[in-house]
Amino acid sequence: MHLDAIEIAGLSSCNGAVSSETLQVIGAERIMHLLHDRWNVRSGWIYPLLSSDLALHLAQVSEEEGAEIKRTLDQFKPSAFAPLLKKTPFPVLCAFADQRDLGPSQVHQTLLAIAGDGSFLQGDRMEAWCIDLAISCLALHAQTWANRPVRNARLIESETIYLAALEALLFAELHEDELGELIGQVNVVGRFDWSADVYDSGAHALARLQLRAPGLRQCRPPGLAHTAHGRTWSVPWATR
């Protein structure tokens, strides 16, 4: 990523410099490809690095309970303890999301589809997911505004619906009803078939992310507009 940043900086300052909008797209697409390599449901490389269900459970119980669990699993021949401890976790996606081959430009949809599996989003999995969700929001923001400099959030397509919900969850301070409406719009557009507890999972993710990055709300990207309850928020440069 550092080498990518140096390359983009060079493109912006050398002879025949590339426009800032083009550089935004280059950087955003590179980030989306990296996130897609990590999280795509077919071959994402992050899953083997995450804690197994057993490892997460052992971290939550006492030493004595953990020893009893190990003794029980060791009774299987061969022992089931080591395989379960190392078992790669995978999220359970809704039927429609699981049937889609989502590309790098849709990595935010992949991450949002994972939000429906609250049992997966625990411990280090939650931490990795919520940080990459914030990164995907910033990448989508850069790509959307560079490609489609619109004047009103109501006029553009599904990317802005995703942007509005992600920005509200990660960077804004909206009333619970307004945030719930935006998440509901994403549920409809993405056909995620989320259950009612996904909002709580999102709030939990935000709390974890704020603990890791206390200044996150101050990093709100400029130019992002969103609509809730008929109101539209935007900043000056996006409406020029």
Q: Please tell me the predicted confidence (pLDDT) of residue 180.
A: 77
What are the residue boundaries of the structural domains of the chain, listed by start? Answer: 20-50+91-239, 52-87
Can you give the pTM of this predicted structure? 0.76
Arithmetic mean of pLDDT over the chain: 75
Q: Please tell me the predicted confidence (pLDDT) of residue 53.
A: 96
Using 70 as the pLDDT threshold, list the residues of the chain that sit under it: 1-18, 94-100, 147-157, 174, 196-240
Q: Please tell me the predicted confidence (pLDDT) of residue 96.
A: 57
Q: Please tell me the predicted confidence (pLDDT) of residue 182.
A: 82
Q: Please tell me the predicted confidence (pLDDT) of residue 52.
A: 97
Residue linked to tokens 């009774």:
75
